[in-house]
Amino acid sequence: MRPLLRRAALLVVVLAALWGIWEGWHWIGTQFKLTWPFTVDDVTMPHLHRIVQALFQPAQVNGPWLLTILWHASLFTAKESIVGLAIGGVVGFAIAVVLSQSRLVERGFIPYIVASQTIPLLAIAPMVVIGLGTKGVTDWVSVAILAAYLTFFPVTINALRGLQSADPRAVELMHSYAASRWRILWKLRVPASLPYFFSAFRIAAPLSIVGAIISEPAASIQGGLGGAIVNFNQYYSIEPQELWATNLIAALLGITFFSAVVIAERAVVRRAPENVA
Amino acid sequence: MSVVELKNVTKTFARGNTIALQGIDLAIEAGEFVSLIGPSGCGKSTLLRTIGDLIQPTSGTIVVNGKPAQQARRDRDYGIVFQDPVLYDWRTVAKNIALPLEMLGWDRTRRAKRVQEMTELVELTGFEGHHPYQLSGGMQQRVSIARALSFSPALLLMDEPFGALDEMTRERLNTELLQIWQETGSTIVFVTHSIAEAVFLSTRVVVMSARPGRIAELIEVDLKQPRTQETREDPRYFELVTAVREALARGGADKITEEALVAGDET
């Protein structure tokens, strides 16, 4: 109970500090008419209480609360992101396993895997959405695949390192049992790679949300957080707090994903306490 | 019949043109406890690994249990223990011990029964569910020994297994190892750099010299069995320790140079 209380207290303190910094800067900025690094007013930095308030007000006349709209948008984007993360995780790990089998293969393919990440998602989104659309794939699945395109990369790079991290003497031990390549992979290299895999997954989880949000407009999806962001972008000069509120919810979704990975990691990975990253 | 038979075994490492082993002839009989001792860089670990077919010799023949070393490895004829326990930290003690049994395709019940016998043998009953990081260094090494013995190999290869332990733990594990050796009747090839340990444990000590790594002398240890704490106070024990020390000196242990260490064929 006590550690839980301490955590709650920490959360309150950090939130209060962030609130203080935001409002403090807002106050200084308006008081002294700061124009550097940006002009501070209610459009560039709406009051935090107005952002929170906006969540509990209808976004349109007689419509539901903004929070209700964003809740449904989050669920939709979460669905895309989870599927994207799963595809990215499986494909990313599979690529790492293939690359780990030979240094030559690794050296040959790594440059293209790195290059794949220099192509912006926006540039390939139309191809994937339209290309898969002609095959009858639903839009949100295309978005999930685009999110996977972003998430497989850290998984591949880290899992590869993990697969190669096995103690050379542990490999010798497996040879002394006349273990086949696949047995060494399954009994030694894969378990040894799990901590690395989860480190990558912590990065990949929020990344999958970013991927989904960016790809939604390309797929003309209105119902997700990406659609909401595009929508509120257009009204920013009048209602800045609505975009800020959307960002807040997107951030909460990212934190939720990250925490879910941490919990999964604790359940799966056993290692010495001093090695816990 | 010899359990291990090496004939004119030579090993050269391409890198640096190091001659790790030169013209090694050695026969080890069933039930023997043979220690390999020598200065760093004398190739004693390399020799052990060639017996286990983890390294292949450049020339010469190695016969283990009457067949080529590679076939013996494929038949899982030996168990191996390294200087570090090399335990899988995601596996419990029980599952670490059961690792070779899984490789041999034993079913769950048979594995569990053997793991129980093994934990009793190395006095780790009650720690089956622990993970390696929860154990002391000595306990971890006992798990490693239990794992090597779990599938009852007739031959046990040990590469400085107690080298990283403190003196007291080391002496206790020495005694335990001798008990296990007598209970199981296995043959043990034991690499060490401790003269006292070699004499206390062995029936025969192989003194090696460095650059190139070769056998300098063979010393029979005629101390009576079973060995106990009193063995360490036996005048004959001191004579043999002196004999090994002098053999090492003659073999050039005093000429160990940095070069020999840099050659680095020990690990």
Residues in A touching B89 (Cβ below 8 Å): 270-272
Minimum CA–CA partner of A195 in chain B = B90
Q: Do the Cβ atoms of B90 and A194 come within 8 Å?
A: yes
What are B195-251's pLDDT values in tens digits? Answer: 999 999 999 999 999 888 899 999 999 998 889 888 999 999 999 999 999 999 887
Tens of pLDDT, residues B82-105: 999 999 999 999 999 999 999 999
Q: Which residues of A touch B54 (CB under 8 A)?
A: 172, 175-176
Note whether B250 contacts A: Cβ–Cβ < 8 A: no
Task: Report the residue of chain A nearest B75, measured CA to CA.
Answer: A178
Quote the minimal CA–CA distance from A43 to chain B in Å. Answer: 53
* Rounded mean pLDDT, A234-242: 91
Given an 8 Å threshold on Cβ–Cβ distance, is B102 in contact with A187? Answer: yes
> What distance in Å separates residue A2's CA from the closest CA in chain B?
26
The string of pLDDT tens digits covering residues A125-179 is 989 999 998 988 889 999 999 999 999 999 999 999 999 999 999 999 999 999 9
Arithmetic mean of pLDDT, A175-204: 94
The per-residue pLDDT for B252 is 62
Which residues of A lie closer than 8 Å to B, measured between beta carbons? Answer: 167, 169-170, 172-173, 175-179, 183, 187-188, 191-192, 194, 269-273
pLDDT value of position A84: 97
Q: Where in chain B are the domains?
A: 2-77+153-263
Predicted confidence band of residue A269 (pLDDT cuts 50, 70, 90): confident
- For A97-111, what is the mean pLDDT? 93
Topology of B2-77+153-263 in CATH? Rossmann fold (3.40.50)
B131: distance to nearest CA of chain A, Å?
Answer: 8
Task: Say whether A270 and B131 touch across the interface (CB within 8 A).
Answer: yes
Q: What ipTM was predicted for this assembly?
A: 0.86
Residue B67 with chain A: CB contacts under 8 Å: none
pLDDT band at residue A77 using 50, 70 and 90 as cut-offs: very high
Q: Does B67 touch chain A (CB under 8 A)?
A: no
Contact B80 A271 (CB under 8 A): no
**Which residues, including other chains, have CB under 8 Å from residue A238's CB and lie 6 or more apart?**
none
